[in-house]
Structure formats: structure tokens, C-alpha cells
Amino acid sequence: MKKIETIGWAGRIVMFFLLIAAAAVMAGCGTTVNVKPEESMSGKEIPKLSFTSISIEVKTEVEDSQEEVQMFKKLLENEFNSRNIAVAESGTDAKMVVAINHLKKVSKTSRFFWGSLSGSAELKAKITITVKNSKSLNFSIDSSARGASSAGDWFTGYGGSTDDLLNRGAKKIIEEIL
């Protein structure tokens, strides 16, 4: 009886190139969030702030992004609340103003079906925080999400969407200032 070879040398070469292609696509995945202090600030790090309550205003110069503005504000509120800092409209110790000047959207559906080929979600914003009896702190956030950045993201297909980028951006901002 003749033994059937499951993968010949040509099949192995094809598999090798498919693995290389998959690795190249996955290498472009990940979310980066860079928070940078204003150039006029002394030092290269954002100083840690101390306050017990804050008001948050998120505005945008980007058309058709009101849903993302509301989502980003809610995510920031949740992050502050998780650190026992009260969020209110007025009468607070601090005020945060986030001005989004660039937003490139990638939907969860697009990310799920197209992966890294659906492009990069991007967010650029200027942030000003004013704490009572202190000077203002100005910094910016420049972030992008190119796809799944963890195994959980990879299996769900949702990592790298605009929603994911806003969530990770909010967390990074709060980590930097508190």
C-alpha cells in the first residue's frame, strides 16, 4: 500500500510563507499611547497632582465625533471615580479640559473582520488641568491602535478599535497625572 504524504516540500514552503505573512501582519498590531508635557514645562515628566474633585470638559474640532466625545468623557469620569476622586459639573478642586484635534475611527466590526488591514484608530488631543491655588498643567496625548495588543484582544477581535483606543487613552492620562 502506498503511503500518502500529507504535506510535500511545496506545501511546506507555502506554509512557511503563510506563517511569515501572518507574523508581519501581527507585528503591526498594538496600541500606543504617548502622553507628553507641554514644551514650556520644566522637566520631561508630568508632575503628579493632588485633588479630591474634578470637573471634566471634552470638546472637539473633529466633525461627526460627538459620540466619541461623550464616550471619552464618561471613560475619564469612570477612571477618576475608580480612584476615589469625585466628578462634578462645578465647585470642584480641579478642572480638566480635553480638546480633541484629531480622531480617526476604526469600528469594532471592521477590526473584527479585517484585523490590522482595517487601519489604525488615532487620537490626538491637548489637555489642560487647573488645580485651585496652583498653575495650570498642559500636556498632550498622541495615540494609535493598530490592532490586537493582547491575546484577549486577538481572540475577540476588538482590540484596536476607536472604543479601545479611547479607553486605554483615558487610563493612561489618569495614570500620568495621579
Question: Do 30 and 149 contact (CB within 8 A), yes or no?
Answer: yes
Q: Which three cell numbers stand for residue 138?
A: 498642559
What DSSP designation does 115 have?
G
**Options 3.30.2000, 3.30.200, 3.40.630, 3.40.50; CATH of 29-177:** 3.40.50
Residuewise pLDDT in 10s, the chain (178 residues): 555 556 677 767 777 766 665 554 554 456 677 888 776 655 667 888 899 999 999 999 899 999 999 999 999 999 999 999 999 999 999 999 999 999 998 876 766 666 666 677 899 999 999 998 888 889 999 988 765 554 444 444 446 778 888 998 999 999 999 8
Q: What is the pLDDT of residue 53?
A: 95
Nearest to 65 by CA among 33, 99, 97, 34: 99
What DSSP designation does 49 have?
-
Q: Where are the domains of the chain?
A: 29-177
Give pTM, 2 decimals: 0.76
Q: What is the pLDDT of residue 154?
A: 47
